[in-house]
Structure 1
Amino acid sequence: MTDGTYVGPKPVKPIPQEIRPSQENALRRWGEIRDWVLGLPALERVFLVGAGGSYSGLQAAHYLLDRESALPVVSVNSDEFYHRASPSVGPGALVIALSAAGATAETVRAASWAQERGAAVVAVTLKSDGPLAQAVSNGFISLNGDGNQIVLQLLVLATLAREGHDVSAKIDALHALPDATDAALRGFEPLAAAIAKDMKDVPVTYLLASGPLQGMGSTFTSCFLQEMQWMHAATINANEFFQGPFEVFDKQTKSILFLGEDATRPMVERAERFLSEHSGTTHRIDSRDLELAGVPSDQRGFIAPLVFYPMMFRLAENYASVRGYTLEGRRYMWQFAY
Structure 2
Amino acid sequence: MLNFDEARFMRIQSGAVALRQRIDAVVAQCLAAGAQNIFFLGTGGAAILMHPAAQLLQRRSRFPAFVDITAELQLVQSVHLTDKSIVVLPSLSGTTKESVALLSRIKEVGATVITLVGHQETPLGKGGDHVFVNFAEDDTSCESFYLQSLFIALAVLKHRGELAESERILVELERLPGLLLEVKRSYEKEAAGFAQKLAASDYHIITGAGNVWPQAWYYGMCILEEMQWIRTRPVHASDFFHGTLELVDKDVSLVLFKGEDSARPLADRVEKFAPGYTDKLTVLDAADFELPGISPDVRTLVSPIVLATALERVSAHLEVIRNHPLTTRRYYKRVAY
TM-score by length of 1: 0.93
1:97/1:121 contact within 8 Å kept: yes
Query: What does residue 126 of structure 2 align with?
Result: 134
Q: Select between 234-243 and 11-20 the one with higher mean Cα deviation.
A: 11-20
**Which one of the candidate residues 39, 44, 63 is aligned to 2:55?**
63
Q: CA deviation at 1:112?
A: 2.5
1:122/1:138 contact within 8 Å kept: yes
Give the alignment of 1:151-300 within 5 angstroms.
151-164=148-161, 165-166=163-164, 167-300=166-299
For the residue of structure 1 that corresponds to 2:92, the secondary structure is coil
Q: CA deviation at 1:181?
A: 0.4
Q: CA deviation at 1:172?
A: 1.9
For the pair 1:114 / 2:106, whether they are aligned, the reply is yes
Query: What does residue 66 of structure 2 align with?
Result: 74
Task: State how far apart, in whole Å, the 1-side matches of 2:191 and 2:38 are.
Answer: 36
Task: State how far apart, in whole Å, the 2-side matches of 1:171 and 1:133 are.
Answer: 26
Task: State how far apart, in whole Å, the 2-side matches of 1:151 and 1:57 are.
Answer: 10
1:259/1:265 contact within 8 Å kept: yes
1:12–1:222 CA distance, 2 compared to 1 (3 A): same
Letter in 1 for 2:88: I
Encode CA deviations 1:16-57: one digit per residue, 9 max, x unaligned. Answer: 432222222222222211111111212211111011111111
Letter in 2 for 1:89: L
Q: CA deviation at 1:15?
A: 5.2
Q: CA deviation at 1:115?
A: 2.1
Letter in 2 for 1:321: V
Encode CA deviations 1:292-335: one digit per residue, 9 max, x unaligned. Answer: 12211232111222222222222211110111101111101111
Task: Provide structure 1 residue ranges, at least 5 long, that are not aligned to the other structure.
Answer: 1-10
1:49/1:55 contact within 8 Å kept: yes
Query: What does residue 304 of structure 1 align with?
Result: 303
Letter in 1 for 2:301: F
Say how many residue pairs are matched.
328
User: How much is the aligned-residue C-alpha RMSD, in angstroms?
Assistant: 1.6
2:259/2:285 contact within 8 Å kept: yes
Task: State how far apart, in whole Å, the 2-side matches of 1:15 and 1:68 are.
Answer: 37
For the residue of structure 1 that corresponds to 2:67, the secondary structure is strand
Task: State how far apart, in whole Å, the 2-side matches of 1:223 and 1:230 are.
Answer: 10
Encode CA deviations 1:203-224: one digit per residue, 9 max, x unaligned. Answer: 3111111111111112211111
Q: CA deviation at 1:185?
A: 0.9
2:216/2:234 contact within 8 Å kept: yes
1:108/1:131 contact within 8 Å kept: yes
2:119/2:133 contact within 8 Å kept: yes
1:173/1:303 contact within 8 Å kept: no
**Matched residues, percent identical?**
25
For the residue of structure 2 that corresponds to 1:329, the secondary structure is coil
Query: What does residue 124 of structure 1 align with?
Result: 116
For the residue of structure 2 that corresponds to 1:325, the secondary structure is coil
Task: State how far apart, in whole Å, the 2-side matches of 1:91 and 1:169 are.
Answer: 33
Q: Which has the higher contact order (CA 8 A, sep 6+)?
A: 1
Give the alignment of 1:67-106 within 5 angstroms.
67-106=59-98
Task: State how far apart, in whole Å, the 2-side matches of 1:78 and 1:162 are.
Answer: 27
Letter in 2 for 1:139: V
Query: What does residue 5 of structure 1 align with?
Result: none
**Which one of the candidate residues 14, 19, 39 is aligned to 1:29?**
19
1:96/1:121 contact within 8 Å kept: yes
Encode CA deviations 1:256-277: one digit per residue, 9 max, x unaligned. Answer: 1110101111110001111022
- The ranges of structure 1 where at least 4 consecutive aligned residues each deviate by more than 4 angstroms after the TM superposition are none
Task: State how far apart, in whole Å, the 2-side matches of 1:317 and 1:16 are.
Answer: 14
Task: State how far apart, in whole Å, the 2-side matches of 1:256 and 1:83 are.
Answer: 35
1:142/1:148 contact within 8 Å kept: no
Encode CA deviations 1:77-125: one digit per residue, 9 max, x unaligned. Answer: 2102222211221122111011111111101122331122011111011
For the residue of structure 2 that corresponds to 1:148, the secondary structure is helix
